[in-house]
């Protein structure tokens, strides 16, 4: 009985983590996007990241945890400090998704450009 309860708790906990591992959800928050941008340029320890924001350190830790769960951050312990480094590979999923809409918008802009050229020729 106890093993079943532990298993259910683990499975439920794992499902919640898996739900949060969506890259789109991770980048939906402006604070998380800013954290990614900061650590994309250089490896920073948690306090250096937290110092850049006016929200609490526990809130920053929560954002960092979500980014780590989504695979967008690598966290390495060095002595007493934990350093964060961006892992941008998962962002290719976002880039691929956006790319399909870029093609649509480029077609629309090309059509508008053709229309404007046609109007200018009539003048």
Query: Residue 87: what pLDDT?
Result: 93
Same domain, 75 and 96: no
Query: Residue 82: what pLDDT?
Result: 92
Same domain, 105 and 65: no
The model's pLDDT over 79-115, given as tens digits with 9 standing for 90+, comes to 999 999 999 899 999 999 999 899 899 999 999 999 9
Query: Residue 122: what pLDDT?
Result: 80
Same domain, 84 and 99: no
Q: Residue 121 — very low, low, confident or very high, per pLDDT cuts 50/70/90?
A: confident
Same domain, 60 and 97: no
Strands (E), 1-123: 44-45, 73-78, 81-86
Same domain, 19 and 41: yes
CA dist., res. 50 & res. 53, Å (int): 6
Same domain, 62 and 44: yes
Q: Which domain holds residue 48?
A: 2-88
Query: Residue 55: what pLDDT?
Result: 94
**CATH code of 30's domain:** 1.10.10.10
For 13-38, give the DSSP string: HHHHHHHHT-HHHHHTSHHHHHHHHH
The model's pLDDT over 8-64, given as tens digits with 9 standing for 90+, comes to 665 556 655 555 578 999 999 999 999 999 999 999 999 999 999 999 999 999 999
pTM tops 0.75, yes or no: no
Query: Residue 103: what pLDDT?
Result: 87
Same domain, 55 and 114: no
Same domain, 72 and 95: no
Q: How many folded domains does the chain comprise?
A: 2
Query: Residue 11: what pLDDT?
Result: 54
């Amino acid at each position: 009985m106890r093993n079943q309860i532990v298993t259910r708790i683990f499975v439920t906990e794992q499902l919640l983590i898996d739900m949060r591992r969506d890259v789109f959800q991770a980048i939906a928050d402006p604070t998380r996007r800013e954290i990614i941008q900061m650590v994309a340029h250089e490896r920073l320890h948690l306090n250096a990241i937290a110092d850049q924001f006016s929200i609490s350190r526990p809130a920053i830790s929560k954002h960092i945890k979500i980014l780590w769960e989504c695979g967008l951050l690598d966290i390495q312990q060095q002595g007493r400090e934990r350093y964060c480094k961006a892992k941008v590979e998962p962002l290719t999923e976002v880039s691929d998704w956006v790319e399909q809409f870029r093609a649509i918008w480029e077609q629309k802009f090309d059509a508008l450009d053709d229309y404007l050229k046609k109007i200018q020729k009539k003048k």
